[in-house]
Amino acid sequence: MVDLKATEGMKLLAGNSNRALADAIAQYLQIPLTKAAVRRFADLEIFVEIQENVRGEDMFVLQSTSFPANDNLMEMLIMIDALRRASAKRITAVIPYFGYARQDRKVGPRTPISAKLVANLITQAGASRVLTVDLHAGQIQGFFDIPTDNLYAQPVIVKDIKDALGHGDHLMVVSPDVGGVVRARGLAKRIGADLAIVDKRRERAGESEVMNIIGNPAGRSCILVDDIVDSAGTICNAAEALMKAGAKEVFAYATHGVFSGGAVSRIQNSALKSMVVTDTIAATPEVAKCPNIRRISIAPLIGEAMHRISNEESVSSLFD
- Domains of the chain, by residue range, sit at 4-151+299-319, 154-296
232 is in an annotated binding site: yes
The pLDDT, as a whole number, for residue 137 is 87
Name the class of domain 154-296. alpha beta
Close Cβ partners of 232 (under 8 Å, ≥ 6 residues apart): 259, 263, 264, 266, 267, 270, 275
102 is in an annotated binding site: yes
The pLDDT, as a whole number, for residue 167 is 74
The pLDDT, as a whole number, for residue 177 is 87
Q: Which residues face 210 on adjacent strands?
A: 200
Would 4-151+299-319 and 154-296 be classified into the same CATH topology? yes
Name the class of domain 4-151+299-319. alpha beta
136 is in an annotated binding site: yes
Contact 264, 293 (CB under 8 A): yes
257 is in an annotated binding site: no
The pTM score is 0.92
The pLDDT, as a whole number, for residue 9 is 76
230 is in an annotated binding site: yes
* Entry field: residues in the chain: 320
Residue positions annotated with a catalytic role: 200
Phi then psi for residue 287, to 5 deg, are -65, -45
Q: What is the mean pLDDT of each run of 10 residues along the chain (320 residues)?
A: 65 96 97 95 95 96 96 97 97 97 92 96 97 92 95 95 85 91 93 90 59 90 96 92 94 96 94 96 95 96 96 91
